[in-house]
Amino acid sequence: MARFRVCPDSGFYFDRSAESLMKVNAVAGVVFLLIAGLLALGVILTRWQEVHLLPADLFYQVLTAHGINALIFWVIFFEMAVLYFASSTLLRSRLAAPGWAWAGFALMIIGAVMNNVAVLQGNSSVMMTSYVPMQAAPHFYLGLILFAVGALIGCFVFLGTLVLAKDDKTYDGSIPLVTFGALTACIIAIFTIASGAIILFPTFLWSIGYINHIDAEMYRIIWWALGHSSQQINVAAHVSIWYLITGILFGARPMSEKVSRFAFLLYIFFLQLASAHHILVDPGVSSEWKIFNTSYAMYLAVLASMIHGLTVPGAMEVAQRSKGYTKGLFEWLRKAPWGNPVFSGFFFALIIFGFIGGITGVVMGTEQINLIIHNTIYVPAHFHATVAVGTTLTFMALTYLLIPVLFRRALFLPWMAKLQPYVFSLGMTIMILFLLGAGTLGVSRRHWDMDFTGAALSFEYPGTAYMMMAVGGIGGVLGVLGGAMFLIVTVGSLLFGKKLEPSAGLFQGFCGIPLADSVYNVEQPPRLERAEPIEHDHSGGFEAPGTFVLALALLVCFVVYYAINWDYLSSVWPIG
Amino acid sequence: MSEENNLPKPERIPFFQRMLDNPFLLLFIGVAMPTVFYTLWGVMEVATLPIAK
């Protein structure tokens, strides 16, 4: 029986099992994004001091659930869909062990629901980090462990599919760059999940009374190998998707595939070591450990991100220039399809990730200037630039691409889809920039009341800090509105979108049930041929001068901001 | 014999590319590096801290 279908619009080949798994993982991810988004509103409207919506206990409960649903469940479910797409679809291969992949998915669902129930019951408001000696209910930890085991199974199904594709000779040469990026994400995920198991299993035993003590410092070090590395999975995954989107929208080829692969290799070597920046003010570890892991190793990972930041728009510029958009430095960018949410979502994600997330990440990873902003609201501002915009907006852009291709439905309310990346990016950028400002003024993260009402040791923030939190709150509400627009378009597309294939019903969309048998009419797709080498024009001059100017602008912003932070450090902590 | 000589030699795959084409070698590197430099080193430092009296 034939097991593949070919998408008439994109030419992608979908293995029946892999297609179902991609759909259910993507749908599950979007459900957890919905939960995270609703909870985000509670967090924002409480930190906006003039509104101060929730009482303290409810605030910490909501913040815990928001963090875990957004940073763990939403992104990792979606990443499972990306892994199956990058292995099975891009390599034109059947999926290895689909039964195991379904078992992994079931474990992830059980774990995610169990963890949410634990938080909802009200005795597990321990934040995403669940630092000991704060103790959550046992099923809080058990839920995370089950989720992690399920995700680990998904990673090994991905690796198994790579082996299968190689054995079946479904492709020629090396695996495509996008699949290589997904492999990078998978490798980081395996380290992340293993670290989670190492620390969460004893913590679970501690919660049920089998272990009487977990060392707080030991917990923090190992937990952050889970907590921060889980966000590095996102980085590798969304960068891979950037290459995919530029390839599909513009027919762009990487400027140098060797350099791009080398940048992913730098991620494999060094990206996970950046977890150490969370431990920069902990007294239990040496400066050597801190400085090696952040100021040496992390910078090599930053170098990799800068390479991707140059080559992704550079490839797009080269492709646009070859189509005749050669006027001035930026005609290629002006004439880009700004009304297509796949493009606008991807490009805003790239810019905000690089300019805000990247630069603030380096500041946070520098031991000395980290002191200014450690554990302030600056930290959530940074990771909302990297994860909530860099990753989430990229995944949103990919979803707009996949609804017709994978789900075989036309987009519902296309005008709303067109506007959505603008509303989401604008709101999030306002929120991020003002929270960065408030954090620089010392406003704490994870803090219910910046007035310190009734506190034994009070503290008075400057009025500017209140203003910045308020404007940040307005931006956050706008960001939530942008998130709601995404959910209306995606859920609406599966419910009411025009069927591009008659058998694409509700169950096919939401439950991953395959389309009609007659659609799967390909026994084995033709072998994926190696792309012809790119002919480089050696006539002199830059191939992508506009991108080079953008890169210089990033460099100038970085140098100025970095210098300002050192200057600020000297004023907040005067010596002599 | 002469026909064999005329056959194109198979393309020699550079070492670096062979390394990049081996997902399990990359997996080993990607797990070993942070395990050694982040986790083990960090845990050893905490484990060797003198206990307060």
Sorted by where each begins, the domain ranges of chain A are 13-250
Which CA distances in Å does A291 have to A298, B11, B40? 9, 43, 16
Strand partners, A484: none
Q: What are phi and psi of A45, to 5 degrees?
A: -75, -10
The structure's pTM equals 0.95
Locate A236 and state its tokens.
Answer: 């590798």
Query: Looking at CA atoms only, how far is residue B53 from chain A in angstroms?
Result: 16
The answer to whether B20 contacts A180, with C-beta atoms less than 8 Å apart, is: yes
Give the per-residue pLDDT at A576: 56
> Which band of pLDDT confidence, cut at 50, 70 and 90, is reported for residue B10?
low
The beta strands (E) that lie in A4-67 are given as 4-6, 13-15
The SS3 call for residue A444 is strand
Which CA distances in Å does A511 have to A1, A14, A19, A254? 22, 17, 11, 36
Give the per-residue pLDDT at A541: 65
The answer to whether A284 contacts B33, with C-beta atoms less than 8 Å apart, is: no
The answer to whether A289 contacts B20, with C-beta atoms less than 8 Å apart, is: no
Distance between CA atoms of A402 and A18, rounded to whole angstroms? 14
Window 254-283 of A, Cβ < 8 Å to B: 261, 265, 268-270, 272-273, 275-276, 279
**Block residue for tokens 């509700």:** A506
* pLDDT-flagged residues of chain A (< 50): none
Find out if CATH 1.20.210.10 is the number for domain A13-250: yes
ipTM: 0.93
Burial code (b: 16+ CB inside 10 Å, e: under 16) for A461-488 equals beeebbebbbbbbebbbbbbbbbbbbbe
The answer to whether B39 contacts A229, with C-beta atoms less than 8 Å apart, is: no
At A332-371, the pLDDT tens digits run 999 999 999 999 999 999 999 999 999 999 999 998 899 9
Distance between CA atoms of A365 and A300, rounded to whole angstroms? 12
A354: left (phi over 0), alpha (psi -120 to 50) or beta: alpha
Minimal-distance CA residue of chain B relative to A198? B39
Residues in chain A: 576
Query: Pairing between strand A13-15 and A4-6?
Result: antiparallel
The answer to whether B38 contacts A162, with C-beta atoms less than 8 Å apart, is: no
Comparing CA positions, the residue from A388, A355, A195 lying closest to residue A278 is A195
Amino acid letter, residue A361? G
Give the per-residue pLDDT at A502: 94
Q: Which of A172, A214, A217, A232 should be substituted to probe chain B, the one whose Cβ sees the most B Cβ atoms within 10 Å?
A: A217
Give the per-residue pLDDT at A539: 61
Minimal-distance CA residue of chain A relative to B47? A218
End-to-end CA distance of chain B: 84
Alpha carbon A524 to chain centroid, angstroms: 33
Task: Report angle CA A155, A160, A162 to the nearest 5 degrees.
Answer: 100
At A220-242, the pLDDT tens digits run 999 999 999 999 999 999 999 99
| pLDDT at residue B2 is higher than 60 | no
Strand partners, A14: A5
Give the per-residue pLDDT at A455: 86
Contact in structure between A387 and A428 (CB atoms under 8 Å): no
Strand partners, A13: A6
Comparing CA positions, the residue from A415, A362, A369, A403 lying closest to residue A569 is A369
Give the per-residue pLDDT at A563: 95
Give the per-residue pLDDT at A415: 98
> Which band of pLDDT confidence, cut at 50, 70 and 90, is reported for residue B51?
confident
Burial code (b: 16+ CB inside 10 Å, e: under 16) for A525-556 equals beebeeeeeeeeeeeeeeebbbbeebbeebee
Query: Looking at CA atoms only, how far is residue A436 from chain B in angstroms?
Result: 28
Minimal-distance CA residue of chain B relative to A286? B45
Contact of B32 with chain A, judged by CB distance below 8 Å, is answered with no
Comparing CA positions, the residue from A125, A105, A103 lying closest to residue A115 is A125
